[in-house]
Structure 1
């Protein structure tokens, strides 16, 4: 089961041949102040997976949460188009980190595992006009940090250090190792 409505996460699971069902998890994504970014994404991923697992008798549930971190500041999904413009102005010409928390919960046994992946992304310099044209496409409005590296936003990315699928929203190498611990092999 995938505890996420993200079409990008669903596409990544399909890419590696997993059979799954999407169960949307409508939890408020709040965490206590003062947590490190990796603690935020791990905690939210675990809450999502556990919430869905609690409603099932069996099956492995995957929960995930992604944030962009720029100079220590967490950038989630923009609240509006202007918020997206402001985020992209900060990211342009700079390096930022993308962190994704991943949690697996076996609904039958209660076994759980939580981890995270971190990647670094370098954006090329952007001017305000191209930022506004990009935001007008609508693509950045449902994405952490206001961009999609798998879409038009790819033209902003000069360099990536780490997992590309992490930046899209689900680090597949990490997930496959976690699934092995639950007796599920991707290959």
Structure 2
């Protein structure tokens, strides 16, 4: 699912996900031009929504900006109100599977990302 065009489509999207499990898939391609190396990875995460009433879904949408969210929801933005479980990478659902990217950089390119202090 992409971002909804309007609030009506946002309502349709979230109601289609309501009480169901869907998959979030992210493909990542990392290139290192100096050595002409490329690594691709794909990460799939299962997201299960709670079963909520229409009023509950509308209340959730009033708390976020659904037009700016793929699927009209955001795990990081009051996601506990609508998400029952996430099976797999939580950061994948938010936008980028960080653990998998870090492992790929470390193992595939011998790079270690710096962490803030």
Given the two structures, how large is their TM-score scaled by the length of structure 2? Answer: 0.84
Query: Is 1:164 aligned to 2:90, yes or no?
Result: yes
Q: Take 1:86 and 1:126, find their aligned partners in 2: how far apart are those partners?
A: 14
Bigger RCO of structures 1 and 2 (CA < 8 A, at least 6 apart): 2
Superposition pairs of residues 82-161 of structure 1, within 5 angstroms: 82-161=8-87
Alpha carbons 2:60, 2:82 under 8 Å: kept: no
Q: Take 2:79 and 2:12, find their aligned partners in 1: how far apart are those partners?
A: 15
Q: Which runs of 5+ in 2 are unaligned?
A: none
Deviates more, 1:133-142 or 1:92-101: 133-142
For residues 12-62 of structure 1, the C-alpha deviation after alignment (integer angstroms, 9 at most, x for no partner) is xxxxxxxxxxxxxxxxxxxxxxxxxxxxxxxxxxxxxxxxxxxxxxxxxxx
Q: Take 2:28 and 2:80, find their aligned partners in 1: how far apart are those partners?
A: 23
Deviation at 1:101, TM superposition (A): 1.2
Alpha carbons 1:139, 1:148 under 8 Å: kept: no
Helix, strand or coil: the match of 2:76? coil
| Equivalent residue pairs, number | 113
For residues 107-147 of structure 1, the C-alpha deviation after alignment (integer angstroms, 9 at most, x for no partner) is 44442211110111111111112222322334322222111
Given the two structures, how large is their TM-score scaled by the length of structure 1? Answer: 0.55
Q: Which runs of 5+ in 1 are unaligned?
A: 1-74
